[in-house]
Amino acid sequence: MSETQIDDVSPGSTDAVEEPTPATDPLAEAQAEIEKWKDISLRTAAELDNFRKRTARDMQESRAYANAEVLRALLPILDNFETGIEAARAEDEKSMIYQGLSMVRRQLADFLRDENVQEIEALGQSFNPNLHEAVSQEASTKVAEGTILKVMRRGFKLKDRLLRPAMVVVSSGASKADSSAANIPA
């Protein structure tokens, strides 16, 4: 450009070169973009780490409870076996059949223990609807209301999960006739 041309450019004209404003500073924009992608990267890495931990926990839980269905299917067979052993005991406790069945019972008990299956204690305990299934109630002057009188079918847990609730008969306390007779002076 010549001197005359430079003089022709007025300070307010659009032909003059403008300094970049801080809002349109390319360096600031690039740094903001870097921070944005850095944040996305950190969040994605955290999500991936959480996913890995959740997957590992789910796999461990699946392994721990994988045999629950097989064990649940075994329980009715165990009930029938117990019925058979009680019949053999009633005949003669010294018979070879009873002794053989007793050995099998011990093996089954050892197997269940090795598989982390525990029998739910019920007889004499307070009724717990999370562990017990009440099939009936009976009046009892000897046992407090809500206490289990009889176990109709044993219940089992696998570690901390319920495989099958115990079927129980629960005390309803003293019957009205019993309690009114107890209050009558002799």
55-103 residue pLDDT tens = 999 888 887 788 888 999 999 999 999 999 998 888 888 888 889 999 9
pLDDT digits 0-9 by tens, 71-83: 999 999 999 999 9
CATH top-level class of 118-186: mainly beta
Are 81 and 100 contacting, i.e. CB atoms less than 8 angstroms apart? no
Q: Is the pTM of this model over 0.85?
A: no
Parallel, antiparallel or unpaired: strands 117-119 and 148-153: unpaired
Distance of CA 165 to the CA centre of its chain: 16
Domain boundaries, the chain: 26-64, 118-186
